[in-house]
């Protein structure tokens, strides 16, 4: 009898202790029936994101402005109360567009700095090397700043999501325009020697066929001498060159072509066609940009009538030292805006799993011209683009927004218009 009584007292004491431990733990009931967990990079007052960016090195021209623009938008949101009461912090690491640096810095961000997620890491060759690590660590890998199709593998990389249209979509849209407007002309392709260039060429060939691209040349970002490639285009009689190049190599291609008296029509990837960046690289030779064709998926930065440009210019003036405003800043701030939309949707009781679920739920609308395609089975990002041209020193979009897929789907017009930002410039849940 006494033994049973003592056992009952012991059980009661254990239950009381367990209740006390639960009450003092980091995992307590939340107002929505979930739990507030001890999540890396998340406190009651802050959310910490990290990124790798080429602030120096061969890809720094233009691209070094992206992460500071994203941070500036976060600072703007923080000034307006943050997201669910939390301030957004953004830790930016310079990898100089060197894959070895990227791996070291991303490991530091995850293992030492304990970031909540990696956001907008830039570069095909750089980010490819951290895909396995981030997904093994179950760290969300949001909105990679590259159009490689590698980011759209939800079965293999469930935490990774693209942002911009992938390079095959882009290649298809550029080639479709060339096919319709430069019929009968000799078309060639110039691309970076990685997934960027290969995916771009794959898209072009889906429209023109392999035989429709007479000369195909590649470059590596560590070798500035591209004279042999441009000479090969001239020798082949290329009249149109579709180019999958970063800004530094777009400028080098134009400059080298001028030296060789080679004057094709250039049609350039969105990632390498920003007018302000190229003008700075070419200096007194910026007249070489006249007539350059490109594609884009955000409002052109010089369109002051666009409400997104107006918002981002305000943010840029208040939180980014009024940096020279270009399409790279448009890119960075749109990534920031989309991230806030996702955080709003993920809810106050934030976890990495809820963040990924929020992205996959889709339905996002912002400055992007085309649709976001996020779902459980599609992590590819924006699916539409618009042609653009540099004329009289100014860059402007023209024609309809076009959408397609990375497979064999047709290039067709996308008719839904982008939304306008809310009055205070901060998305709401």
Q: How far apart are CA 197 and CA 371, in angstroms?
A: 24
CA atoms within a 13 Å half-sphere pointing along the CA-CB vector of 349: 12
Q: How far apart are CA 295 and CA 255, in angstroms?
A: 21
Q: What is the DSSP letter of 122?
A: B
Q: What is the DSSP letter of 112?
A: I
Helix (H, G, I), strand (E, B) or coil at 258: helix
Domain range 46-166+300-383, its CATH number among 3.40.50.2300, 1.10.630.10, 3.40.50.300, 3.40.50.2000: 3.40.50.2300
Q: Domain extents for the chain?
A: 46-166+300-383, 168-296
Question: H-type helices in 115-226, by residue range?
Answer: 124-128, 131-136, 167-181, 195-208
Helix (H, G, I), strand (E, B) or coil at 31: coil
Return the pLDDT at 1: 38
Q: How far apart are CA 125 and CA 243, in angstroms?
A: 18
Q: How far apart are CA 225 and CA 241, in angstroms?
A: 18
Q: What are phi and psi of 230, to 5 degrees?
A: -70, -35
Q: What is the DSSP letter of 110?
A: I
Longest CA–CA separation in the chain, Å? 105
Q: How far apart are CA 15 and CA 12, in angstroms?
A: 5
Domain range 168-296, its CATH number among 1.10.760.10, 3.40.50.2300, 3.40.720.10, 3.40.50.300: 3.40.50.2300
Return the pLDDT at 429: 73
Residues in the chain with pLDDT values less than 70: 1-37
Are both 46-166+300-383 and 168-296 of the same fold?
A: yes
Is the entire prediction scored with pTM above 0.85? yes
Return the pLDDT at 37: 61
Q: How far apart are CA 5 and CA 1, in angstroms?
A: 6
Q: How far apart are CA 216 and CA 51, in angstroms?
A: 33
Other CB atoms within 10 A of residue 23 CB:
8
Q: Which secondary structure element, helix H or strand E, spans residue 69, and what is its range?
A: helix 66-79
Helix (H, G, I), strand (E, B) or coil at 348: coil
Q: How far apart are CA 365 and CA 353, in angstroms?
A: 22
């Amino acid at each position: 009898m006494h033994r049973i009584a003592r056992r009952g007292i012991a059980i009661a004491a254990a239950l009381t202790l367990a209740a006390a431990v639960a009450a003092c733990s980091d995992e307590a009931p939340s107002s929505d029936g979930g739990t507030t967990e001890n999540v890396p990079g998340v406190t009651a007052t802050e959310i910490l994101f990290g990124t790798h960016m080429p602030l120096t090195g061969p890809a720094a021209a233009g691209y070094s402005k992206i992460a500071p623009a994203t941070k500036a938008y976060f600072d703007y949101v923080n000034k307006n109360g943050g997201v669910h009461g939390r301030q957004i912090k953004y830790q930016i690491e310079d990898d100089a567009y060197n894959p070895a640096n990227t791996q070291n810095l991303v490991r530091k961000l995850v293992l030492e700095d304990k970031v909540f997620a990696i956001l907008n890491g830039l570069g095909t060759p750089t980010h490819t090397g951290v895909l396995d690590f981030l997904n093994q660590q179950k760290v969300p890998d949001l909105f990679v700043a590259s159009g490689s199709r590698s980011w759209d593998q939800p079965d293999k990389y469930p935490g990774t999501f693209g942002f911009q249209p992938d390079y095959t979509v882009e290649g298809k849209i550029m080639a479709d325009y060339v096919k319709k407007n430069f019929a009968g002309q000799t078309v060639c392709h110039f691309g970076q020697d990685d997934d960027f260039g290969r995916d771009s060429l794959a898209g072009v060939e889906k429209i023109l066929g392999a035989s429709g691209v007479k000369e195909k040349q590649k470059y590596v970002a560590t070798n500035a001498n591209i004279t042999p490639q441009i000479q090969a285009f001239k020798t082949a009689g290329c009249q149109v060159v579709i180019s999958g190049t970063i800004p530094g190599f777009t400028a080098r291609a134009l400059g080298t072509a001028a030296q060789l008296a080679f004057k094709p029509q250039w049609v350039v990837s969105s990632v390498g066609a920003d007018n302000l960046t190229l003008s700075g690289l070419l200096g007194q030779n910026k007249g070489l940009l006249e007539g350059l064709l490109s594609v884009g998926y955000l409002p052109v930065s010089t369109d002051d009538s666009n409400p997104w440009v107006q918002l981002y210019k305000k943010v840029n003036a208040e939180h980014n030292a009024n940096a020279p405003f270009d399409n790279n800043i448009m890119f960075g701030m749109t990534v920031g805006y989309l991230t806030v939309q996702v955080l709003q949707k993920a809810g106050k009781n934030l976890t990495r799993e809820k963040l990924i679920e929020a992205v996959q739920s889709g339905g996002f609308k912002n400055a992007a011209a085309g649709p976001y395609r996020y779902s459980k089975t599609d992590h590819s990002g924006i699916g539409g683009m618009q042609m653009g041209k540099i004329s009289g020193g100014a860059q402007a979009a023209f024609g309809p927004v076009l959408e397609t897929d990375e497979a064999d789907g047709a290039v067709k017009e996308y008719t839904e218009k982008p939304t306008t930002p809310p009055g205070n410039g901060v998305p709401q849940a």
